[in-house]
Amino acid sequence: MILVVDVGNTHTVLGLFQERVLLESWRIATHFSRTEDEYGMTLHNLFSFSKIRTDKIRGMIISCVVPPMLKVMVGMAEKYFGLKPLVVGPGIKTGLPILLDNPREVGADRVVNSVAAYSHYRQALVVIDFGTATTFDCVSARGEYLGGIIAPGLQISIEALFQKASKLPRVELIRPPRVVGKNTVHSMQSGIVYGYMSLVEGLIARLSKELEVEPLVIATGGLAPLIAKETEAIDHVDELLTLKGLLYLYELNREDHHKS
């Protein structure tokens, strides 16, 4: 079995694969103050609950966009699983040329998502990841990572409204009954949900014009289904895209990693 770990700013998502089949997946909070021992015990409890033997895990790969957490996760892997994990970063083979001014700047999760999407669809595409930030990643028909867009995430937008406008309440992230809100809550929900829908549609239209191609649009992240069902700009939703991409990269780099 192969354990894949995606450490994000808000959540850490884990997946356990056997012969390319996802057996289990978990989502836990990312806490900067947690130690490798705390994460090690958390994972052991998750595996125990799912009746998974940790000695059957023969490989691990980690994607991390929170620098202080990487050392913790690597230490946890070595101490509790006896594994030297593969880390997504400079030097790893992706099969995807990074056409940026500084390729080291691109987040590991964005590379993983782009690799996963292109390896499956093999055409020009845009991956939208609805996470702490909402990111748009563009891949050419030749499989080149062209760059992308970073926008504030949905939850960040909601929290900003709640914290910076004293009379506005914290609202549930759901589609309101109509665009024109008849009360404060519905007005806020309209601005967030329909406003974000318009952001997605507008940016996809601008990307298509600039790239001179109509790309396939893949959405991932926990909030992807909410937005995708409200717009025709998104072609597919794959909430497991990052986990699939991590497994793909593990297999692509397995031999080199074992030699190191």
Are 197 and 231 in contact, with CB atoms under 8 Å apart?
Answer: yes
235 classed as catalytic: no
Q: Which of 6, 37, 109, 137 is catalytic?
A: 109
Q: Give the span between the Cα atoms of 138 and 141, in whole angstroms.
A: 10
Q: Give the span between the Cα atoms of 55 and 187, in whole angstroms.
A: 52
Q: Give backbone dihedrals phi and psi of 151, rounded to 5 degrees, phi first.
A: -125, 160
What letter does residue 98 receive in the DSSP assignment? B
Q: What is the DSSP string of 178-228?
A: SSS-SSHHHHHHHHHHHHHHHHHHHHHHHHHHHHTS--EEEEESTTHHHHH
Q: Which tokens in the block code for residue 113?
A: 């998502």
Active site residues: 109
